[in-house]
Amino acid sequence: MLNYVIWGNSLTSWLLGLSTFVFSFFFLKLIINILIKNIEKLREKIKQVSDPLLITFLKQTRGFFLIALSLYIASIWINLEELPGLYLRTIFMITFWVQSGIWLNYLLIEFINLRNTKDANGDDKSTLSALKTVLRIVLWSIIFILVVDNIPGIEITALITSLGIGGIAIGLALQNILGDLFASLSISLDKPFVINDLIQVDSFMGTVEKIGLKSTRLRSISGEQLIFSNSDLLNSRIQNFKRLERRRNLLTLGVLYQTTPEQLRQIPEIIRSIFIELEGLTLDRIHLSGFGDFSINFEMVYWVESSDFSLFMDQKQNILLRIFDDFIKHGIEFAYPTQSIFIEKNGDPPLLD
């Protein structure tokens, strides 16, 4: 009875194949369920709120893929003719690529949703959501080509060639739009600036109001709106003033040539004492830097430990007022433009006015 032949295989082979199929299917389901339960227990133990990536990834494994995989494993017991074997391999490869598309589609959605969760700004969310749609279309287009490539009798080369020609034509027509679209993706992911950042693009400065799919809009300091295409914006040099951690300033002081050497040596100590008393300031250096046309020059560099421009100007004002007061106390006078005229008369030595 077991040697009875059906479609070129004994009944024993068919029973072994059927047993292998059933065992493989339930074994794979069991392994997936065990992994999910163990990972969920570990998540509860470490008090992780969100599901680990592996759990949701395993949950995306579809039953049709497990069935096709189990059939393919069971086929080792059965000698199939060329045509049925070709059909079985085709079914397995199609389900494999479809399942791969489901996995990759899930990872793409999770990545975009994670970025949306981190970004509170609505404009960034709408941009990423639109780009998610575009990327999903690209993904499933690739999966479609891979699936069709595994169907016997279909010449994929001609299909790809026709799609390539059409894609080139569409790409040329939409070159600028697609460039701005992918530039928007780059801005959303790399974040050289976000909404409300104060940036400077070449000679233009303003606060970022909106980051769209095609353009970014700034509100300039003088009040008008500046609109840049995203691709042009990324090709420019951008200064982001919002991300300043502290501000540096270089200040030059000039005193009269009538200042005595003792007073010149006092000036660095006077400056250092001022910075000791003022909070939120760090003096980098103070040096006598050179002799000018009408002044002896000192150069000082200091940091304001804040990115706030208003605070920066307030502290600069405080420093200048303190320097002015202390110089008066020590009898040190600031230089101002002067000219010396020498007059020579009747062979007498020159007189100085």
CATH of the domain at 290: 3.30.70.100
Residue 196's domain spans which residues?
180-243
Shared domain for 153 and 296, answered yes or no, is no
Distance CA 203, CA 226 (A): 12
Shared domain for 78 and 185, answered yes or no, is no
Q: Is residue 353 part of a domain?
A: no
Shared domain for 191 and 309, answered yes or no, is no
Q: Is residue 337 part of a domain?
A: no
332 phi, psi to nearest 5 deg: -95, 130
Number of domains in the chain: 3
Give the model confidence (pLDDT) of 122-142 as tens digits: 555 556 666 677 778 888 888
Q: Is residue 343 part of a domain?
A: no
Is 227 or 111 the better-scoring residue by pLDDT?
227
Shared domain for 238 and 254, answered yes or no, is no
Residue bearing tokens 């397995």: 92
> How confident is the model at residue 78, as a pLDDT?
75
Q: Is residue 316 part of a domain?
A: yes
Q: pTM of the predicted model, to two decimals?
A: 0.48
Give the model confidence (pLDDT) of 90-121 as tens digits: 888 889 989 888 888 888 887 777 766 555 55
Q: Is residue 341 part of a domain?
A: no
Shared domain for 211 and 294, answered yes or no, is no
Shared domain for 140 and 279, answered yes or no, is no
> How confident is the model at residue 256, as a pLDDT?
93
Strand order of the β-sheet with 225-229 is 225-229, 215-220, 204-211, 198-201, 238-240
Shared domain for 256 and 284, answered yes or no, is yes
Res 339 pLDDT > 60: yes
> Are the beta carbons of 77 and 20 closer than 8 angstroms?
yes
CATH of the domain at 210: 2.30.30.60
Q: Is residue 349 part of a domain?
A: no
Res 324 pLDDT > 90: yes
Considering 152, 173, 194, which residue would you say is the last residue of a domain?
173
> How confident is the model at residue 253, as a pLDDT?
93
Res 261 pLDDT > 70: yes
Residues 6+ apart with CB under 8 A from 28: 66, 69, 70
Cα 284 to the chain's mean position, in Å? Answer: 33
Strands 342-343 and 215-220 come out as unpaired
Shared domain for 305 and 222, answered yes or no, is no
